[in-house]
Structure 1
Amino acid sequence: MQTHTTAPDRGRPDDDPPLRIGIVGAGIMGQGNALAMSQQRGVEITAVTSATANHADALADEIAGRGRRRPVVHADLDQLLADQQVDAVVLTTPDDLHGPMMVAAARADKHILVEKPFTTSVAEADRAVAAIREAGVVAMCLFNHRWVPAYAQAKELSAGLGAPAVGYARKNDTLYVPTEMLSWAHRTTCAWFLSSHDIDLMSWLIDDQVIRVFATARTGKLQSLGIDTPDAIQIQAEYSRGAVATFESAWIYPNTFPTMVDSYVTLTCADGVIQLDRQTENVVVADPSGVRYPRNLLQRVVHGVPAGAYADAIAHFLRCCRTGEQPLISVESSRSVTAVLEAAHHSISTRQPVDIPHPTGRVR
């Protein structure tokens, strides 16, 4: 039996009351959040809910199995939001459910951590941002790539390379993701699910907003398997200060590909270029079944303690909840990612470029 130790949280006095967390959704991301949060000092997962009741019970049992108090399992989101033993919620539901859930959580005066994408429509994003700002709660979309060490280093290094000129980002998954990992792939697209990460990252590196997109999609493989969603999407984006970028997403790689995700980013500036290739992540394993590259930058467990960019992003959000500081990722910047993706899907349907209006002022 593996022993789990508690990661230090030096920003919290020992006599502060714990931050009480309610987890909404008990799938892979719900489990990942629970693992990371259950190892944080001064944090208690007090409630869980899921559309599938037995999954919520299993997650509650898993948390209790780590030596923590078993959280209460609620029948639905409304019941969890009415729980006075919940200070913050983690929303790990399918992409298209995030918006209304954030509005409800903000009106219930709960801090909010939401999995990407922020929402799947600008109208829902605007309602969520308005509710969050009116309530004064801390909220963050879990674009955890900003905590990948190489990406954070690229942000610092790019400042000395002159004006950003050309960006390229691809994030392609194997067939396993839309056919086995997700039961709701037909309710989203590879761009919502994958390129949302890259749009947030590239816009952060460039420090600018997309003002125009043209996008195309390829459909066929997944439809033949009974899943009504595109196989691949390409987005051409123009930024307000002249930089251009391409965002590629697909999820029909064969399952024999050595990694579940093929992720690559490059940024060319006036005086230099930065390339970020995450395929190997420094570990290669070969055995009779083949060659594989275990992923470790986002989620890993080191000596029983969750580590990596995912855990670091969650720890940042928790600290913001305690201190009231604004997260590195603002809800306004996450709303901008939604605007890019909504425009891209409109461009796919019209086969025309689409301009993106933005609220006044730059967003982080």
Structure 2
Amino acid sequence: MQAKEKNYRLRFGVIGVGIQGEKHVKILSTHPLVEVVSICDVNPERLKEVSQKYGINKTYIDYEEMLAKERLDAVVVATPDHLHLKPVISALENGINVLLEKPMATKLDDALKMAEEAKKRGLLLYINFSNRFNPPFAIAHKKFREGELGKPLYAYFRLSDTIYVPTKMLSWASKSSVVFFLMSHTTDLARWIFNDEVRKVRAYAHYEVLESLGIRTPDYVTAVLEFRKGGRVVLESSWILPETLPSIVDFNMEIIGTRGAIYINNTFQSIAVANATRHYYPKPIVLEEVNGRFTGFVKESIFHFVDSLASKTEPLIKVKDGVENTRVLEAIVESYTRNTEIVLEENR
């Protein structure tokens, strides 16, 4: 990004304005240093809806056209999990910084191509592992970094969704899985909190419920990650929890260290609501409008990218974090597919 005049606002575009993409539009529109100038989506009706809701006049069906025509400082890529490579590479080739929704990719080769292109062009490629800004997990990271709980030895992460997600929310569930959609979060948190790289993976998956509905993706996956320094982490993710639960997302963690332990329940966020038709848990820690202002860790991660771009400082989340995350996720899939332990390269 070239040096700008004092009152210059960063010009953003957003590719993919589904559920997550709209959150980016909403949040970016509140940042004083940002102007969302254009959005792109393959669904014309959705494009019209979001553009009218947020007053964005420039809309595109083809992201290549948007990237070529608009003078952008940065673009958000919030396309489905398996469709990240082409828009990211195109944005980078056009000299545009990228905020990429997790997972970085569903193939390690794709992640490596993106990382190489960003490095070659000296551009910022930020993978939105937003849970690093989620207060309970950030506190866990801090407690271990400061030595209060000693060295992390063992952790258990459970992040699952109700069956609503693969059957009603995502039209492309069969092109992804709980590994990329959910374990991308927990794998990143494990690497971050343990401050180490994974050396071995053993994973198991089960196909039954979703497959019977014509959705070829695992019902659940469990994985054991072994780190270079000896730490172990168990990951568990499912896409078949009942819709009758009060939260679409079930998220819990425990970490045992050499001098203590920490326990996090991120499912219940201090508030439960029961109306005439249902009982549910709002998510104020995730994203909520409070007295006319947005708050939550989703906002904080996006604002961090903007602030890093504006100040030309290195962000908390590096390109390597996305690459190593994808490496582990690919190993999880390979492990349960081949029914064997996968040893990752040591000198990477």
TM-score band by shorter chain is: over 0.9
Is 1:189 aligned to 2:180, yes or no? no
Residue in 1 that maps onto 2:14: 23
Shift of 1:152: 1.1
Consecutive unaligned residues of structure 2, counting only runs of 5 or more, are: none
Classify 1:319/1:253 alpha carbon distance in 2 versus 1 (closer, same or farther; 3 Å).
same
Is 1:151 aligned to 2:137, yes or no? yes
Q: Choose from 122, 134, 138 the match for 2:124.
A: 138
Normalising by structure 2, we get a TM-score of: 0.96
Could you tell me how far apart the structure 2 residues matched to 1:99 and 1:166 are?
34
Shift of 1:43: 0.7
Identity of aligned residues (%): 31
Deviations 1:28-68 (A, max 9, x none): 0111111100111121111111111221122111111xxxx
Is 1:178 aligned to 2:156, yes or no? no
Residue in 2 that maps onto 1:91: 77
1:280-295 paired onto structure 2 within 5 Å: 280-295=268-283
Which range is displaced more, 13-22 or 210-219? 13-22
Shift of 1:359: 5.5
Could you tell me how far apart the structure 2 residues matched to 1:287 and 1:80 are?
44
Instruction: Give the SS at the match of 1:236.
Output: strand
Could you tell me how far apart the structure 2 residues matched to 1:16 and 1:111 are?
20
1:28-107 paired onto structure 2 within 5 Å: 28-64=19-55, 70-107=56-93
One-letter identity of the residue aligned with 1:99: L
The answer to whether the 8 A contact 1:139-1:327 is kept is no
Residue in 2 that maps onto 1:309: 297
Residue in 2 that maps onto 1:296: 284
The answer to whether the 8 A contact 1:22-1:88 is kept is yes
Q: CA RMSD in A?
A: 1.4
Residue in 1 that maps onto 2:344: 356
Shift of 1:83: 2.5
Is 1:127 aligned to 2:101, yes or no? no
Is 1:198 aligned to 2:179, yes or no? no
Instruction: Give the SS at the match of 1:357.
Output: coil
Residue in 2 that maps onto 1:4: none
Residue in 2 that maps onto 1:269: 257
Consecutive unaligned residues of structure 1, counting only runs of 5 or more, are: 1-12, 65-69
Large movers: runs of 4+ above 6 Å? none
Shift of 1:15: 3.3
Normalising by structure 1, we get a TM-score of: 0.91
Could you tell me how far apart the structure 1 residues matched to 2:299 and 2:284 are?
12
Could you tell me how far apart the structure 2 residues matched to 1:24 and 1:90 are?
6
One-letter identity of the residue aligned with 1:147: F
Instruction: Give the SS at the match of 1:252.
Output: coil
One-letter identity of the residue aligned with 1:131: E
One-letter identity of the residue aligned with 1:50: D
Shift of 1:75: 2.6
